[in-house]
């Protein structure tokens, strides 16, 4: 077992007790990368939970199981006595394990699991001040000092908004990425809201037309991606790979592009539009169906694989030349000419993030594995297309849907909390009669409604998707030409 994980476990668990409840206010144990490390190294599940969620999970999953669980809470006093009686209860801060480092700097930078793991292994023999601690984590205040908030705000508000031109989202994303890296997203969010308001006017006037716009030069919406690929690659013996990175916003793609370019892979960047609502079931289905998505579709890798094989079978590509891979490594890529690869690590990161800087750090941690797989396709001679099903946006809590409201909508369409898909028209009408203010704040079409601004049906703010925000809807469509020589 990894020594860092082992040391943390010695603080938050006891061998004679399967259940632990830990008060962890610094957020370290609630991070996606921390949770993954604990499952991988120790088969221990770390489960952040509010008091009510803890009760439900305790009754449904812990009782009668032999799984070692660790609930992460903000306040032990909120845990009910009967659950406490069965658990080992404690408080924990990652700073307790990192002797010799400046605690305020560790908490300030919200460093990733891998960074803190590295600090732990170094075993300081002397106390490091704030500057030395920053240096040990790989951060620099000089980089922060180069960030000019007023200049960034001015440049954001002066971007020429041509929503089908990649330069628009390129410029906006570059400015946002700098703000996010410097923990200033909240300061630039008002400018983002102003830009998004103009985007909503564009969507009202143009979105439906994009769905049927010619795919010959490029796909303007995700349902035309396969049509464009087929048109652009008529020789069925030439190798083509479609890489779909679930939940990747354009600023995250910019991070990925830096690493792709460093490996010698030049990118041709364009944009396409996600399906609306911007959820995986509809938007990724539209990609792999090569057509309008269907409401009765069941979203999972097996369904996507079938769509991919069916699409190329209808175009006379032998099945032995076609492959689909979800997250794993592709064995023998040289054997295929039509290859699809889906990676959901960005989406997993997104749904566990407390803020945009957290997502920035987790994105950086995930890029290497994606680049390695794309590099394999490149070295094997594929023309590579990179896209996503939707982006993401930092969303603010409106409120959680009531049990009655939840009964009116499809419950398992997405983990995103920015859309409603009603099971009956009368339910849609009832919902908006009860919440009349939302009629002007959500885009309502047929049986669905989506947030136009940055709000969500959640109990707290979070990074998510499903709505009509430009950061969700305008997504990268990228080509890497075949390796020469």
Asked if 193 and 229 sit in the same domain, the reply is no
d(CA 88, CA 13): 7
d(CA 470, CA 206): 13
Summarize pLDDT for 143-167 with one digit per residue, the tens.
445 788 999 999 999 999 999 999 9
Where is pLDDT greater, at 450 or 115? 450
User: What per-residue confidence (pLDDT) applies to 442?
Assistant: 96
Asked if 329 and 417 sit in the same domain, the reply is yes
d(CA 145, CA 392): 28
How sure is the predictor about 142, in pLDDT bands with cuts at 50, 70 and 90?
very low
Domain stop point among 207, 222, 250 = 207
β-bridge partners, 22 = 72, 90
d(CA 7, CA 2): 9
Summarize pLDDT for 227-241 with one digit per residue, the tens.
999 999 999 999 999
Asked if 136 and 240 sit in the same domain, the reply is no
Residue 408's CATH number: 3.40.720
Q: Which domain holds residue 358?
A: 210-485
How sure is the predictor about 52, in pLDDT bands with cuts at 50, 70 and 90?
low
pLDDT greater than 80 at residue 54 = no
How sure is the predictor about 473, in pLDDT bands with cuts at 50, 70 and 90?
very high
Q: Pick the range with the lowest mean pLDDT from 113-122, 186-195, 308-317, 319-328.
A: 113-122
How sure is the predictor about 336, in pLDDT bands with cuts at 50, 70 and 90?
very high
DSSP conformational letter for 61: I
Asked if 485 and 357 sit in the same domain, the reply is yes
Per DSSP, the three-state class of 468 is coil
Question: Mean pLDDT throughout 154-183?
Answer: 94
Summarize pLDDT for 419-451 with one digit per residue, the tens.
999 999 999 999 999 999 999 999 999 899 999
Confirm if 474 and 434 have CB atoms less than 8 A apart: no
Where is pLDDT greater, at 39 or 453? 453
How sure is the predictor about 457, in pLDDT bands with cuts at 50, 70 and 90?
very high
Asked if 165 and 250 sit in the same domain, the reply is no
Q: What percentage of the chain reaches a pLDDT higher than 90?
A: 63
Question: Mean pLDDT throughout 64-77?
Answer: 80
What rounded mean pLDDT belongs to the chain? 90
Rounded to 5 degrees, φ, ψ at 62 are -75, -45
This prediction has a pTM of 0.75
Where is pLDDT greater, at 117 or 244? 244
Confirm if 70 and 39 have CB atoms less than 8 A apart: no
d(CA 44, CA 421): 36
Where is pLDDT greater, at 7 or 64? 7
In what helix (H) or strand (E) does residue 462 lie, and over which residues does it extend?
Answer: strand 462-464
Apex 458 CA angle, 455 and 461, nearest 5 = 60
Asked if 256 and 337 sit in the same domain, the reply is yes
Asked if 342 and 428 sit in the same domain, the reply is yes
How sure is the predictor about 416, in pLDDT bands with cuts at 50, 70 and 90?
low
d(CA 483, CA 379): 7
Asked if 167 and 223 sit in the same domain, the reply is no
pLDDT greater than 80 at residue 55 = no
DSSP conformational letter for 438: G
Burial class (CB in 10 A: 0-12, 13-18, 19+), 55: middle
Count how many domains the chain has: 3
């Amino acid at each position: 077992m990894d020594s860092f994980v082992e040391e943390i476990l010695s603080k938050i668990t006891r061998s004679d007790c399967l259940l632990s409840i830990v008060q962890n206010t610094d957020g370290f144990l609630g991070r996606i990368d921390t949770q993954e490390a604990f499952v991988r190294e120790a088969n221990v599940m770390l489960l952040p939970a509010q008091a009510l969620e803890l009760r439900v999970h305790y009754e449904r999953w812990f009782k009668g199981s032999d799984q070692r669980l660790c609930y992460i809470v903000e306040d032990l006093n909120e845990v009910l006595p009967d659950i406490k009686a069965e658990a080992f209860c404690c408080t924990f801060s990652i700073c307790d394990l990192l002797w010799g480092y400046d605690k305020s700097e560790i908490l300030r930078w919200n460093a990733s699991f891998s960074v803190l793991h590295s600090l732990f292994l170094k075993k300081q023999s002397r106390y490091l001040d704030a500057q030395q601690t920053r240096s040990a984590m790989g951060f620099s205040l000089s980089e922060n000092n180069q960030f000019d908030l007023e200049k960034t705000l001015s440049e954001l508000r002066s971007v020429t908004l041509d929503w089908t031109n990649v330069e628009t989202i390129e410029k906006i994303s570059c400015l946002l990425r700098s703000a996010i890296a410097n923990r200033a997203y909240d300061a630039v969010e008002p400018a983002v809201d102003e830009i998004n308001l103009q985007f909503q006017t564009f969507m009202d006037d143009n979105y439906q037309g994009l769905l049927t716009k010619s795919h010959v030069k490029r796909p303007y919406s995700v349902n035309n991606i396969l049509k464009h690929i087929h048109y652009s690659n008529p020789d069925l013996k030439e190798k083509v790979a479609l890489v779909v990175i679930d939940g990747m916003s354009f600023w995250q793609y910019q991070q990925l592009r830096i690493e792709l370019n460093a490996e010698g892979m030049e990118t041709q960047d364009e944009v396409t539009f996600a399906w609306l609502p911007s959820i995986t079931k509809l938007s990724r289905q539209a990609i792999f169906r090569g057509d309008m998505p269907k409401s009765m579709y069941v979203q999972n890798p097996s369904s996507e694989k079938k769509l991919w094989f069916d699409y190329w079978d209808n175009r006379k590509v032998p099945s032995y030349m076609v492959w689909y891979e979800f997250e794993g490594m592709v064995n023998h890529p040289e054997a295929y000419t039509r290859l699809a690869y889906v990676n959901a690590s960005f989406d997993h990161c997104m749904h566990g993030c407390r803020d945009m800087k957290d997502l920035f750090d987790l994105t950086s941690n995930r890029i290497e594995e994606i680049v390695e797989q794309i590099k394999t396709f490149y070295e094997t001679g594929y023309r590579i297309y990179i896209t996503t099903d939707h982006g993401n946006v930092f969303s603010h809590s409106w409120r959680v849907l009531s049990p009655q409201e939840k009964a009116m909508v499809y419950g398992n369409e997405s983990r995103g909390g920015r859309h409603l898909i009603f099971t009956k028209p009368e339910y849609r009408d009832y919902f908006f009669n009860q919440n009349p203010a939302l009629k002007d704040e959500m885009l309502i079409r047929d049986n669905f409604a989506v947030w136009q601004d940055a709000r969500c049906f959640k109990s707290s703010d979070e990074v998510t998707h499903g709505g009509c925000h430009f950061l969700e809807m305008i997504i990268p469509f990228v080509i890497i030409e075949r390796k020469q020589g």
